Amino acid sequence: MPVKLPKYAHWVAERRFLVDAAVAPTLDSAGARRIEDLYIDGGRLRLRAITHLSSGEREFKLAKKYAPDNPLIGPMANLYLNAEEHAVLAALPGERLSKLRHKLGGFTVDVFEGDLKGLMLAECEASNRMAAMSVEIPDWCVREVTSVPEYTGWRLAQNRDGVI
């Protein structure tokens, strides 16, 4: 029996990989975005502020990733906010995470800041499981961590000492 998708949600199939910075191609900061996440206490909500480094333009959204039965694919919903709405929600308690996101081919590469400085994760997204599994993985992706809970954003945000 097919899983019923929550109203207003869409399916996201994603795979995550540890990146070896020593063999990764040089990342161009000109097109990078700074992503500042707040994983709000008491649920599965993520508040996000995105700053486009080249223009300074900012965007804000509130997301919910539903608990997937399979770590490769699960439903997600986004609500786009204005700066004032973001500021109100940013006062809520939770765990924060900051990273620079770069595009590299069909992947995004996140370079973490703060306590997680030095950690690099690559991610590829697709609309379904088959498409996600057929992606060619570059040699700088050294280990798949899609199924490792410690590499989810929520768990990384709770990792205050930077040890994974």
Is pLDDT of 2 > 70? no
- Indicate the DSSP class of residue 70: B
Say if residues 132 and 14 touch (Cβ distance below 8 Å): yes
Q: Residue 34: beta bridge partners?
A: 51, 100
15: tokens are 């795979």
Q: How many Cα atoms sit within 13 Å of 161 on the Cβ side?
A: 2
Tallying the residues shown for the chain, one arrives at: 164
Average pLDDT over residues 145-163: 83
Determine the pLDDT at residue 157.
92
26-67 pLDDT tens trace: 887 878 999 999 999 998 899 999 999 999 999 999 999 877
Is pLDDT of 143 > 70? yes
11: tokens are 């399916």
Pairwise pLDDT comparison (7 vs 80), residue with the higher score: 80
pTM above 0.85, yes or no: yes
φ/ψ of residue 151, rounded to 5: -100, 10
Determine the pLDDT at residue 79.
95
117-137 pLDDT tens trace: 989 999 998 777 777 788 889
CA angle (127, 164, 123) in 5-degree steps: 20
3-state secondary structure of 115: helix
Is pLDDT of 93 > 70? yes
105: tokens are 């081919």
Determine the pLDDT at residue 163.
55
39-43, 73-77, 113-117: the lowest-pLDDT one: 73-77
Domains of the chain: 10-158 (2.40.320.10)
Determine the pLDDT at residue 1.
42
Determine the pLDDT at residue 89.
98
